[in-house]
Amino acid sequence: MKYVILMQVDPAVLENLTEEQQQQIGEGHGAFMAETKERGEFVATQALADPSRSKVVRSGADGPEVTDGPFAESKEYLGGFYLVDVADEARALELAKRIPDASIPGLALEVRPVMFADLGEE
């Protein structure tokens, strides 16, 4: 079963990380990817740009309109995700706890089952 692990980011927390914490995050993500690839659980990951660089497309009076993002007022934003293919929710949660962000106060990981996926494979 596939699960997406969404990395929720608070920019204020990121700005206040020590160099050691930044290094732990970088090395921790590398180790997490290597382990899940080795176990055949890794499907994909993407890191996303800051929401100040996003655009929002939504319905307008004359058809779709494009505005600057983000679409919601919130201090936290989606910073990226992992897509994993695991046996069950318990394993997905176990993996989420191993992502370095889980050890930093103010950051969060949301684990959600994938209902449908098309990864472009033939």
Ordered by start, the domain boundaries in the chain are: 2-48+75-113
The amino acid occupying position 61 is: A
* DSSP structure class, residue 86: -
Tell me the pLDDT tens digit for each residue of 81-120: 999 999 999 999 999 999 999 988 888 999 999 998 888 8
Number of residues that this document lists for the chain = 122
Q: For residues 73 and 58, which has the higher predicted lDDT (pLDDT)?
A: 58
Helices of type H across the chain: 11-15, 19-38, 89-98
Cα 13 to Cα 36, 37, 86, 117: the distances in Å are 27, 29, 30, 32
CATH assignment, 2-48+75-113: 3.30.70.1060
